[in-house]
Amino acid sequence: MECPFCHQDNDRVVDSRASGAAIRRRRECLECERRYTTYERAESGLRLRVIKKDGTTREAYDRTKVRRGLMLALHKRPVPTERLDAMLQEIEDELTSTYDLEIPSRAIGDLVMEKLRREDQVAYVRFASVYRNFKDISEFVHEVEPMLSQRTGTPREKNRTEGPDESGPTGGD
């Protein structure tokens, strides 16, 4: 395997673990002594063609595009890489069980949004802002309001429904 840092083909496997539908390998380059991670997976039987937004352009499904979108949305969020990989596999499993040959790009985006909404709401809003091409803050608010209304017992909602707290320094005694 070629080292992504020094581009030499001289490494050793330090650790191997199953990670969903792949094997995760930690490698150490014997030239520059840096470590990196690789994933080994069986070639996917996913031979779907993606129908782009224009309705006429088609391209091969690309796992790396979906993974990149998930990674950008989950950047610096408390979601482990293993969970990201599991989400990607769940998305692909659903695609293959729902579509035979072609799939609208919108269906992929909607499925990614649904997975992110359940996993991490901040990542969901990040992805939605790009995917839905929000033009202004009102579109953000429109997207977030349903999630806020589903939450119960948050301090923000308590303040709206119960009024000011009378046990604080200005009331009660």
Look at residues 144, 142, 133 and name the one whose alpha carbon lies nearest to residue 53: 133
Structure confidence by residue, pLDDT tens digits, 72-86: 999 999 999 889 989
pLDDT band for position 152 (50/70/90)? low
Beta-carbon contacts of 150 under 8 Å, excluding residues fewer than 6 positions away, are: none
Counting Cα atoms < 13 Å in the Cβ hemisphere of 25 gives 12
User: Per-residue pLDDT averaged across 47-61, rounded?
Assistant: 92
Burial, 124: exposed, middle or buried (Cβ in 10 Å; 0-12, 13-18, 19+)?
buried
Range in 57-61, 91-95, 109-113, 137-141 the model is least confident about: 137-141
Q: DSSP string spanning 7-41?
A: --S-EEEEEEEEETTEEEEEEEETTT--EEEEEEE
User: What distances in angstroms separate CA 84 from CA 128, 135, 173, one per listed residue?
Assistant: 17, 28, 52
pLDDT score at 43: 61
Cβ atoms 125, 139 nearer than 8 A? no
pLDDT band for position 57 (50/70/90)? very high
Residue 10 in this model has a pLDDT that exceeds 50: yes
- Say how far residue 35 (Cα) sits from the centre of its chain: 25
User: Per-residue pLDDT averaged across 40-60, rounded?
Assistant: 83
